[in-house]
Homo-oligomer: A and B are copies of this chain.
């Protein structure tokens, strides 16, 4: 076997372990009884250690160097090699003892956060969060040295390969230039019109599930290769050949679960569309979290909150729930599902205000990683930022800097991908609909085949064979540009 082939065999084994981990995690979240938690943690930790050992094997650096010198490699093989090296750098940059210490500190802090948030007790959790932050800064320093990147970029690279704070600054500056005025204008425009009517429940869960399954089928979800289940925190898991999405239901509101299912279906279609020839190889994976989020937001925000889709959805919804009257009109549903309002909680935010929440978190986490903001000053900085960016401030930390799990469970450098994803979604959707005139009329008939075909060719099927920026340029004619997102808001909230 050539060095490259040896690497492929090793990474195939690692990819297979990661698939097994993904199934175990799905089961943990959607099926497992509580008493199984400790044994499951041992199972997952053992598989993670074994996957990690493959990357830290003594022969790996030599194999990577030797494979680099092989002349006969295809473009995909070269790209695969590049991703192998990235994985290896991330795995070996940080001493195993530091990884373990941070992992334990994160679990402990996350557990404490589950009580601290409802108790509104930021002071109480501060010592544990400080430990997590300090260890994360150590990890960032170690990765920065090995990856030759600034501190924040070194963390970001694990979620957004080749991303940089400099680029995010540029994008978020462009966003910030129009977002506050756009939000104000959208809210004023809404207030000048009659409020939309909320359909009245209860909406039986079995009916909601039926709606979810129908829409999943319309979007192109392949039930021979996936499932829909329930979990406390909706997610898309499983593997490309067996994609497992979850949602949660509330009897008094069907829109939340419905939009959640459409969102996760976007993620699922990406996973399912990854090239079968590169299963379990690094190059066969999705191209980072921004692009992943772009696929869920393209389906949820761009396609399924459109007038076209809601025209298709309205009769199906009123039939399924036995609803009648103006609340079930497509126009009313459209106005309900495109409502803009300033809110304290990120996960409840609409697509117009959501980026403001993200910009705040990005600024704060970067300042903390770069030691320009002390943890004790976080609540004040949070509230100041909320006033500036969203226009309101929380009455307490529960709905302020305690609201998101990310920092408390050790997830630093992840937040900006949400908004980069939203911007990417707008740009991809505008390019797709411009290139294929059958896409928008398709949505009105529940026919997503033209849209999905375009995404398969331009996004899903390319996996990690090129950087995200190159993929976006190939698909849309230019690199990421806030103008597409601005146009989307303008059209949906200020023109239609």
Contacts and interface: CB of A to CB of B under 8 A. Distances in A.
A227 B33 contact: yes
Contact of A46 (B17, B225, B279): B17
Contacts of A223: 33
Interface in A220-252: 222-227, 238-242
A213 interface: no
A316 interface: no
A373 interface: no
A39 B24 contact: no
Nearest to A14: B46
A214 to B, nearest CB: 17
Contact of A242 (B32, B47, B222, B241): B32
A239 B16 CA distance: 21
Interface string A261-290: 000000000000000000110000000000
Contact of A239 (B36, B222, B226): B36
A23 interface: yes
Contact of A33 (B42, B47, B226): B226
A200 B41 CA distance: 47
Contacts of A33: 223-227, 242
Contacts of A280: 42
Contacts of A241: 35-36, 38-39
Contact of A224 (B34, B42, B226): B34
Contacts of A32: 242
A40 interface: yes
A31 interface: yes
Contacts of A227: 31, 33
Contacts of A50: 13, 50
A46 B16 contact: yes
A89 interface: no
Contacts of A47: 17, 20
A186 to B, nearest CB: 42
Contacts of A19: 39, 42-43
Which of A17, A43, A227 lies at the interface centre, i.e. has the most chain B CB atoms within 10 A of its CB?
A: A43
A27 interface: yes
Contacts of A279: 39
A239 B36 CA distance: 9
A13 B238 CA distance: 23
A39 B17 CA distance: 11
B35 A222 contact: yes
A23 B43 contact: yes
A20 B38 contact: no
B20 A242 contact: no
Given A31-B227, A39-B240, 15 more contacts: A16-B42, A17-B47, A20-B24, A20-B47, A23-B24, A27-B27, A32-B242, A33-B242, A34-B224, A35-B242, A36-B241, A36-B242, A39-B242, A40-B242, A50-B50
Interface of A: 13, 16-17, 19-20, 23-24, 27, 31-36, 38-40, 42-43, 46-47, 50, 222-227, 238-242, 279-280
14 contacts: A13-B50, A17-B46, A17-B47, A20-B20, A20-B46, A23-B23, A24-B24, A31-B227, A35-B222, A35-B242, A36-B239, A36-B241, A39-B279, A40-B242
